[in-house]
């Protein structure tokens, strides 16, 4: 019987490590995948970035004078990172206990598997 097991991890790196271990040590695994919020990657890049503001200081008939202000990115423009990752494993029904124990040992939580 083919079953599906789901679990949650704190970060995609932990999920990848657990899935690699399951693929290499458990027979009867048909497919593995994981899903996480990719906005967290964008938030991480933005937190290391710089914010530029352009100000028009003087406007005359023939030209415009402007200034650029550089500042570190503030917390109000950066979305809150959510790195929680959901793992999906499609496997043979006889290896659900072994996979659940590996997921638990590798830091998985909220494991849902048919018993």
What predicted TM-score, i.e. pTM, was given to this entire model?
Answer: 0.63
In this prediction, residue 32 has a pLDDT band, given cuts at 50, 70 and 90, of: very high
Give 95's Cβ-side CA count (13 Å radius): 17
Whether residue 57 has pLDDT greater than 80: no
Residue 55 CB neighbours (<10 A) = 9
Alpha carbon 12 to chain centroid distance?
5
In this prediction, residue 93 has a pLDDT band, given cuts at 50, 70 and 90, of: confident
Give 74's Cβ-side CA count (13 Å radius): 5
Residue bearing the bigger pLDDT, 41 or 20: 20
**What pLDDT, on a 0 to 100 scale, did the predictor assign at position 78?**
59
Whether residue 87 has pLDDT greater than 90: yes
Task: Give the three-state DSSP class for 14.
Answer: helix
pLDDT in tens, 6-24: 999 988 889 999 999 999 9
The rounded distance, in Å, linking the Cα atoms of 11 and 9 is 6
109-112 β-sheet, strand order = 29-36, 85-92, 2-9, 109-112
């Amino acid at each position: 019987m083919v079953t599906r097991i789901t679990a949650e991890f704190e970060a995609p790196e932990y999920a990848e490590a657990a899935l690699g271990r399951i693929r290499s040590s458990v027979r009867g695994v048909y497919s593995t995948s994981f899903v996480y919020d990719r906005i967290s990657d964008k938030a991480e890049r933005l937190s290391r970035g710089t914010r530029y503001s352009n100000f028009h200081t003087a406007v005359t008939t023939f030209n415009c004078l402007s200034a650029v202000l550089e500042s570190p990115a503030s917390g109000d423009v950066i979305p809150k990172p959510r790195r929680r990752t959901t793992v999906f494993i499609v496997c043979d029904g006889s290896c659900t206990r072994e996979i659940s124990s590996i997921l638990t040992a590798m830091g998985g939580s909220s494991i849902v598997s048919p018993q």
